[in-house]
Structure 1
Amino acid sequence: MRADQLLQTHTVWWGGTVLLCVEGELDIATAPLLDQTATSVLAAGPELLCLDLTALTFCDMTGLHALRRLTDQTAAAHTRLHLAGLHPRLRYTLTRLKTLSPWTPPVLQN
Protein backbone atom coordinates (compact mmCIF):
# COMPACT_ATOMS: atom_id res chain seq x y z
CA MET A 1 0.00 0.00 0.00
CA ARG A 2 1.07 3.57 -0.66
CA ALA A 3 1.47 6.01 2.22
CA ASP A 4 -1.43 8.16 0.98
CA GLN A 5 -3.67 5.10 1.22
CA LEU A 6 -2.67 4.53 4.86
CA LEU A 7 -3.11 8.14 6.00
CA GLN A 8 -5.50 10.76 4.73
CA THR A 9 -5.72 14.37 5.84
CA HIS A 10 -8.60 16.80 5.40
CA THR A 11 -8.53 20.49 6.20
CA VAL A 12 -11.38 22.87 6.94
CA TRP A 13 -10.75 26.59 7.32
CA TRP A 14 -12.87 29.20 9.03
CA GLY A 15 -11.37 32.58 9.72
CA GLY A 16 -7.97 32.23 11.36
CA THR A 17 -8.66 28.66 12.47
CA VAL A 18 -7.93 25.47 10.59
CA LEU A 19 -9.22 22.01 11.46
CA LEU A 20 -6.83 19.31 10.27
CA CYS A 21 -8.42 15.85 10.42
CA VAL A 22 -6.10 12.86 10.27
CA GLU A 23 -7.45 9.44 9.31
CA GLY A 24 -5.56 6.15 9.30
CA GLU A 25 -2.09 5.18 10.48
CA LEU A 26 0.62 7.60 11.61
CA ASP A 27 3.91 5.73 11.35
CA ILE A 28 7.26 5.73 9.57
CA ALA A 29 5.61 5.42 6.16
CA THR A 30 3.04 8.17 6.66
CA ALA A 31 4.62 10.73 9.00
CA PRO A 32 6.08 12.67 6.03
CA LEU A 33 2.53 13.21 4.76
CA LEU A 34 1.55 14.86 8.04
CA ASP A 35 4.74 16.95 7.91
CA GLN A 36 3.94 18.12 4.37
CA THR A 37 0.33 18.93 5.19
CA ALA A 38 1.30 20.82 8.33
CA THR A 39 3.92 22.85 6.44
CA SER A 40 1.35 23.77 3.81
CA VAL A 41 -1.30 24.71 6.39
CA LEU A 42 1.08 26.74 8.54
CA ALA A 43 2.36 28.66 5.51
CA ALA A 44 -1.10 30.29 5.34
CA GLY A 45 -0.61 31.64 8.88
CA PRO A 46 -3.59 30.40 10.90
CA GLU A 47 -4.02 31.61 14.48
CA LEU A 48 -5.17 28.17 15.65
CA LEU A 49 -4.56 24.69 14.31
CA CYS A 50 -6.89 22.05 15.70
CA LEU A 51 -5.59 18.57 14.94
CA ASP A 52 -8.46 16.08 15.05
CA LEU A 53 -7.17 12.56 15.69
CA THR A 54 -10.58 10.90 16.10
CA ALA A 55 -10.02 8.68 13.04
CA LEU A 56 -6.38 7.88 13.81
CA THR A 57 -6.18 4.09 14.04
CA PHE A 58 -2.47 3.63 14.80
CA CYS A 59 0.41 5.77 16.03
CA ASP A 60 3.92 4.46 16.64
CA MET A 61 7.03 6.23 17.93
CA THR A 62 7.63 7.83 14.54
CA GLY A 63 4.09 9.18 14.70
CA LEU A 64 4.77 10.60 18.15
CA HIS A 65 7.87 12.30 16.74
CA ALA A 66 5.72 13.73 13.93
CA LEU A 67 3.37 15.18 16.54
CA ARG A 68 6.35 16.70 18.32
CA ARG A 69 7.60 18.24 15.07
CA LEU A 70 4.12 19.65 14.52
CA THR A 71 4.27 21.21 17.97
CA ASP A 72 7.61 22.79 17.11
CA GLN A 73 6.34 23.99 13.72
CA THR A 74 3.26 25.63 15.20
CA ALA A 75 5.32 27.34 17.89
CA ALA A 76 7.72 28.69 15.25
CA ALA A 77 4.74 29.94 13.21
CA HIS A 78 3.16 31.58 16.31
CA THR A 79 0.12 29.34 15.86
CA ARG A 80 -1.71 27.74 18.77
CA LEU A 81 -2.15 23.97 18.52
CA HIS A 82 -4.92 21.87 20.04
CA LEU A 83 -5.21 18.10 19.80
CA ALA A 84 -8.73 16.72 19.75
CA GLY A 85 -10.30 13.28 19.50
CA LEU A 86 -7.48 11.42 21.19
CA HIS A 87 -7.80 7.72 21.88
CA PRO A 88 -7.32 7.12 25.64
CA ARG A 89 -4.05 5.23 25.09
CA LEU A 90 -2.60 8.02 22.96
CA ARG A 91 -3.74 10.59 25.53
CA TYR A 92 -2.00 8.56 28.25
CA THR A 93 1.20 8.31 26.21
CA LEU A 94 1.27 12.04 25.50
CA THR A 95 0.59 12.81 29.15
CA ARG A 96 3.45 10.51 30.19
CA LEU A 97 5.76 12.17 27.68
CA LYS A 98 4.88 15.49 29.25
CA THR A 99 6.04 14.27 32.66
CA LEU A 100 9.12 12.40 31.39
CA SER A 101 10.62 14.92 28.97
CA PRO A 102 11.00 18.65 28.48
CA TRP A 103 8.50 18.50 25.60
CA THR A 104 5.10 19.87 26.53
CA PRO A 105 2.33 18.51 24.30
CA PRO A 106 -0.33 20.96 23.16
CA VAL A 107 -3.67 21.32 24.87
CA LEU A 108 -5.40 17.93 24.88
CA GLN A 109 -9.14 17.84 24.26
CA ASN A 110 -11.68 15.11 23.65
Structure 2
Amino acid sequence: MRRWHGAEHKVVEALLLVEEGVEPEEAWWRAKALSPACGTVAAGISLPIALALFAVYPPLALLAVPLGLFLHVRLPRSSPLRLPGLLLERLFVAEPGPLEEARAREAFQRLAALLRERG
Protein backbone atom coordinates (compact mmCIF):
# COMPACT_ATOMS: atom_id res chain seq x y z
CA MET A 1 0.00 0.00 0.00
CA ARG A 2 2.83 2.40 0.77
CA ARG A 3 4.09 2.16 -2.82
CA TRP A 4 0.63 2.83 -4.28
CA HIS A 5 0.32 5.85 -1.99
CA GLY A 6 3.69 7.08 -3.28
CA ALA A 7 2.56 6.49 -6.88
CA GLU A 8 -0.57 8.55 -6.26
CA HIS A 9 1.55 11.39 -4.86
CA LYS A 10 3.87 11.25 -7.83
CA VAL A 11 0.93 11.66 -10.24
CA VAL A 12 -0.47 14.62 -8.30
CA GLU A 13 2.90 16.32 -7.91
CA ALA A 14 3.67 15.87 -11.64
CA LEU A 15 0.27 17.31 -12.61
CA LEU A 16 0.90 20.34 -10.40
CA LEU A 17 4.22 20.87 -12.18
CA VAL A 18 2.50 20.59 -15.58
CA GLU A 19 0.00 23.24 -14.48
CA GLU A 20 2.99 25.48 -13.67
CA GLY A 21 4.20 25.08 -17.26
CA VAL A 22 6.75 22.28 -16.89
CA GLU A 23 6.82 19.81 -19.78
CA PRO A 24 5.09 16.52 -18.87
CA GLU A 25 8.20 14.34 -19.27
CA GLU A 26 10.29 16.60 -17.05
CA ALA A 27 7.42 16.96 -14.57
CA TRP A 28 7.20 13.19 -14.20
CA TRP A 29 10.90 12.88 -13.35
CA ARG A 30 10.85 15.85 -10.98
CA ALA A 31 7.78 14.65 -9.05
CA LYS A 32 8.42 13.08 -5.65
CA ALA A 33 6.55 10.39 -3.76
CA LEU A 34 6.50 12.45 -0.57
CA SER A 35 4.04 15.31 -0.77
CA PRO A 36 3.55 18.23 1.61
CA ALA A 37 -0.08 18.32 0.44
CA CYS A 38 -0.87 14.80 1.74
CA GLY A 39 -3.57 14.36 4.38
CA THR A 40 -1.05 12.43 6.45
CA VAL A 41 0.86 15.70 6.81
CA ALA A 42 -2.29 17.29 8.24
CA ALA A 43 -2.44 14.51 10.83
CA GLY A 44 1.23 15.06 11.64
CA ILE A 45 0.60 18.77 12.13
CA SER A 46 -2.35 17.99 14.43
CA LEU A 47 -0.50 15.55 16.72
CA PRO A 48 1.94 17.99 18.37
CA ILE A 49 -0.86 20.54 18.66
CA ALA A 50 -3.05 17.93 20.39
CA LEU A 51 -0.27 17.05 22.84
CA ALA A 52 0.37 20.69 23.69
CA LEU A 53 -3.31 21.48 24.15
CA PHE A 54 -3.84 18.33 26.20
CA ALA A 55 -1.02 19.38 28.51
CA VAL A 56 -2.67 22.76 29.07
CA TYR A 57 -6.27 21.60 29.42
CA PRO A 58 -7.30 18.14 28.13
CA PRO A 59 -10.64 19.10 26.50
CA LEU A 60 -8.76 21.64 24.36
CA ALA A 61 -7.08 18.73 22.57
CA LEU A 62 -10.31 18.34 20.57
CA LEU A 63 -9.38 21.56 18.76
CA ALA A 64 -6.18 20.02 17.40
CA VAL A 65 -7.74 18.41 14.32
CA PRO A 66 -9.60 21.48 13.02
CA LEU A 67 -6.57 23.65 13.80
CA GLY A 68 -4.24 21.16 12.11
CA LEU A 69 -6.46 21.06 9.02
CA PHE A 70 -6.64 24.85 8.94
CA LEU A 71 -2.84 25.09 9.08
CA HIS A 72 -2.47 22.34 6.48
CA VAL A 73 -4.56 24.34 4.02
CA ARG A 74 -3.01 27.75 4.83
CA LEU A 75 0.69 27.00 5.29
CA PRO A 76 3.02 27.30 2.29
CA ARG A 77 4.12 23.90 0.97
CA SER A 78 7.70 24.60 2.10
CA SER A 79 6.83 25.68 5.65
CA PRO A 80 8.96 24.09 8.39
CA LEU A 81 5.76 23.64 10.43
CA ARG A 82 4.95 20.76 8.06
CA LEU A 83 8.00 18.80 9.27
CA PRO A 84 6.15 16.61 11.83
CA GLY A 85 3.66 15.68 9.13
CA LEU A 86 6.36 14.91 6.60
CA LEU A 87 8.06 12.66 9.15
CA LEU A 88 4.78 10.86 9.80
CA GLU A 89 4.18 10.57 6.06
CA ARG A 90 7.36 8.52 5.71
CA LEU A 91 5.57 5.72 7.58
CA PHE A 92 2.76 5.60 5.01
CA VAL A 93 4.49 6.41 1.71
CA ALA A 94 7.27 4.69 -0.23
CA GLU A 95 8.76 5.19 -3.66
CA PRO A 96 6.66 3.28 -6.20
CA GLY A 97 7.97 -0.04 -7.46
CA PRO A 98 8.01 -0.94 -11.18
CA LEU A 99 4.34 -1.97 -11.31
CA GLU A 100 3.11 1.07 -9.38
CA GLU A 101 5.38 3.36 -11.39
CA ALA A 102 4.04 2.03 -14.71
CA ARG A 103 0.39 2.35 -13.68
CA ALA A 104 0.94 5.81 -12.19
CA ARG A 105 2.77 7.02 -15.27
CA GLU A 106 -0.08 5.79 -17.47
CA ALA A 107 -2.60 7.66 -15.31
CA PHE A 108 -0.42 10.77 -15.36
CA GLN A 109 -0.11 10.73 -19.16
CA ARG A 110 -3.87 10.45 -19.56
CA LEU A 111 -4.55 13.24 -17.09
CA ALA A 112 -1.84 15.47 -18.60
CA ALA A 113 -3.45 14.95 -22.02
CA LEU A 114 -6.80 16.01 -20.59
CA LEU A 115 -5.19 19.15 -19.12
CA ARG A 116 -3.70 20.01 -22.52
CA GLU A 117 -7.08 19.52 -24.24
CA ARG A 118 -8.82 21.81 -21.80
CA GLY A 119 -6.01 24.32 -22.20
When normalised by structure 2's length, the TM-score is: 0.28
**Higher fraction of strand:** 1
Which of the two has higher C-alpha Rg? 2
Of Structure 1 and Structure 2, which has the larger fraction of its residues in helix? 2
Q: Which has the higher contact order (CA 8 A, sep 6+)?
A: 2
